[in-house]
Chain A
């Protein structure tokens, strides 16, 4: 034949409205397909849910710990021990200087005589204490920061400043503990990320495998659709939507699992927090994060389905 016909190209006509209608149809029919074998679908969805609930739950825990560390009243205060030979005048001048520091909120001064009296009364060592020639207790000043949410960095600077005063013994503050707590949170955060990454891969594999089995089950149908001229896009579409549904339902179930755990834990945590005299209460997930989990679930579902379809579609040809 001639050159003109050789250039003839085959194209599918464009039809945006029809495309939308077809996609909606497939969206619903693929959900129906999940419904047709409820047990298998449910098991896949639960596996996905558990895989997604673990990092999500860990994330909620870390988030709460972070809140806790930010509102940690103990961390925003320090106990200053003054040098043993500090005179009353030294103590007064120190108190004046500390009061002028804008970073400091409340101050409480414990007099050694006062402290000794208390110790004598409550320790049960009254007699032994009475034998002492000198009062061994130093002056103590309790310092609370003006900003209860002070960052560890600023807090550390404040302590360095106070330590530089000659009346103050090198302060042993609660900061060390706070730093350790922060480090634990960082570790957990990193762990949550790592776990998320691994379990995201697991979700992709679970969905990919489910879709792969589905494709094998429907091989004959795919052959016939190819035979009558169904494009790869057409064949791929229901499987991608199926992956989407697995992701959506799995992530929703994961959120339900996390919410259930939250409900079960909230009461005991609040009680514990009350016992410690803390205003801390267990926080839920922000709406944005809920959407993020669902969105990620859908994305992973489609990705898993895509991998499965991509691997298999080329191999199934009509013969």
Chain B
């Protein structure tokens, strides 16, 4: 589902790049990506979500060689990858419902279909009663769950999460992880970047470790 072949990415300020990273993830696999800040976790996720392009090497996601996609194909590809961020990246002036509906709106889904699927996604994250609320009126954990609902509403085969529990207390973090487990059980491929090692230990999944842009460890319990 995801394959990196000698992928390198460097930035002008030489922080957070990747060096010769090679790994693969099978469809339906769930893995954690750990490492210190600046080790390249976010960069690796951005390469998968095509928010960045590699300088060298090849990235394959869901059968697409990302280096070969034309500009016109980029948005269509991004629809196959759900992304969750630590800072949520929600539209502050839109309701929870509208935020979650966005990935369906951009694909031109019918109104009834949008409502049905947004409600299902909000139900899944336990926010059905907040559909009409604005994001600012929600707690951090709730906003994170809005972000998750938005990432899964179009049922992408790949889900990426960048420090999804960064600002949450352990209990809420476990709740979020439980949600990810459920998505994984229905066949979604998940890659979660986190530095919360306790949480990683607790869930006993495959762990990829980055250090200064290199993949230094790849353990499967």
- Residues of chain A at the chain B interface (Cβ within 8 Å): 1, 5-6, 8-12, 15, 18-19, 22, 220-221, 223-232, 234, 317-319
Is B60 touching A319 in the complex (CB atoms < 8 A)?
A: no
Is B73 touching A9 in the complex (CB atoms < 8 A)?
A: yes
CA distance A8 to B80 in the complex (A): 14
Stretch at the interface among B28-36, B64-72, B169-177: B64-72
Neighbour of A229 across the interface among B3, B63, B79, CB < 8 A: B79
Task: List the A residue with the shortest CB-CB distance to B76.
Answer: A10
Is A10 touching B69 in the complex (CB atoms < 8 A)?
A: yes
Q: Which of B49, B76, B90 has the most CB of A within 10 A?
A: B76
Is A10 touching B89 in the complex (CB atoms < 8 A)?
A: no
Is B107 touching A1 in the complex (CB atoms < 8 A)?
A: no
- B110 in the interface (beta carbon within 8 A): yes
Task: List the A residue with the shortest CB-CB distance to B52.
Answer: A319
Whole-angstrom distance between the Cβ of B111 and the nearest chain A Cβ: 9
Is B75 touching A226 in the complex (CB atoms < 8 A)?
A: yes
Known: A5-B63, A319-B52. 12 other contacts (CB 8 A): A1-B60, A1-B63, A8-B63, A9-B73, A220-B91, A224-B90, A224-B102, A225-B102, A227-B83, A229-B106, A231-B76, A232-B75
CB neighbours (8 Å) of A225 from chain B are: 102, 106
Is B76 touching A18 in the complex (CB atoms < 8 A)?
A: no
Neighbour of A10 across the interface among B73, B83, B108, B150, CB < 8 A: B73
Whole-angstrom distance between the Cβ of B113 and the nearest chain A Cβ: 10
Is B64 touching A8 in the complex (CB atoms < 8 A)?
A: yes
Is B106 touching A231 in the complex (CB atoms < 8 A)?
A: yes
Is B89 touching A224 in the complex (CB atoms < 8 A)?
A: yes
Task: List the B residue with the shortest CB-CB distance to A232.
Answer: B75
Q: Report the interface size for chain B: residues with CB under 8 A from the other chain.
A: 31
CB neighbours (8 Å) of B90 from chain A are: 224
CB neighbours (8 Å) of A227 from chain B are: 49, 51, 78, 83, 89
Query: Can you name 13 A-B residue pairings with CB atoms under 8 Å?
Result: A1-B60, A8-B64, A10-B69, A10-B77, A12-B107, A18-B108, A224-B91, A225-B106, A227-B78, A228-B150, A230-B106, A231-B76, A231-B106
- Residues of chain B at the chain A interface (Cβ within 8 Å): 3, 46, 49, 51-52, 60, 63-65, 68-69, 71-73, 75-79, 83, 89-91, 102-103, 106-108, 110, 150, 154
CB neighbours (8 Å) of A228 from chain B are: 78-79, 102-103, 106, 150, 154
CA distance A227 to B52 in the complex (A): 12
CB < 8 Å A-B pair total = 72
CA distance A224 to B106 in the complex (A): 11
Task: List the B residue with the shortest CB-CB distance to A9.
Answer: B73
Whole-angstrom distance between the Cβ of B118 and the nearest chain A Cβ: 13
CA distance A5 to B79 in the complex (A): 18
Task: List the A residue with the shortest CB-CB distance to B156.
Answer: A229
CB neighbours (8 Å) of B83 from chain A are: 227
CB neighbours (8 Å) of B65 from chain A are: 1, 6
Q: Which of B69, B71, B72 has the most CB of A within 10 A?
A: B72
CA distance A12 to B51 in the complex (A): 20
CB neighbours (8 Å) of B73 from chain A are: 9-10
Is A229 touching B150 in the complex (CB atoms < 8 A)?
A: no
CB neighbours (8 Å) of B3 from chain A are: 1
CA distance A8 to B110 in the complex (A): 26
Whole-angstrom distance between the Cβ of B204 and the nearest chain A Cβ: 30
CA distance A221 to B105 in the complex (A): 14
Q: Closest 5 CB pairs between A and B?
A: A229-B79, A230-B106, A229-B78, A10-B76, A228-B103
CA distance A93 to B125 in the complex (A): 110
Q: Which of A221, A226, A228, A232 has the most CB of B within 10 A?
A: A228
CA distance A317 to B91 in the complex (A): 16
Is A319 touching B76 in the complex (CB atoms < 8 A)?
A: no
Is B106 touching A317 in the complex (CB atoms < 8 A)?
A: no
CB neighbours (8 Å) of B78 from chain A are: 226-229
CB neighbours (8 Å) of B51 from chain A are: 227, 317-319
Task: List the B residue with the shortest CB-CB distance to A12.
Answer: B76
CB neighbours (8 Å) of B75 from chain A are: 226, 229-232, 234
Whole-angstrom distance between the Cβ of B189 and the nearest chain A Cβ: 15
CB neighbours (8 Å) of B64 from chain A are: 5, 8, 10
Whole-angstrom distance between the Cβ of A71 and the nearest chain B Cβ: 59
Task: List the B residue with the shortest CB-CB distance to A19.
Answer: B108
Is A18 touching B106 in the complex (CB atoms < 8 A)?
A: no
Whole-angstrom distance between the Cβ of B92 and the nearest chain A Cβ: 8
Is B108 touching A221 in the complex (CB atoms < 8 A)?
A: no
CB neighbours (8 Å) of A15 from chain B are: 108
Whole-angstrom distance between the Cβ of A238 and the nearest chain B Cβ: 12
Task: List the A residue with the shortest CB-CB distance to B42.
Answer: A319
Is B103 touching A229 in the complex (CB atoms < 8 A)?
A: yes
Is B69 touching A6 in the complex (CB atoms < 8 A)?
A: no
CB neighbours (8 Å) of A12 from chain B are: 76, 107-108
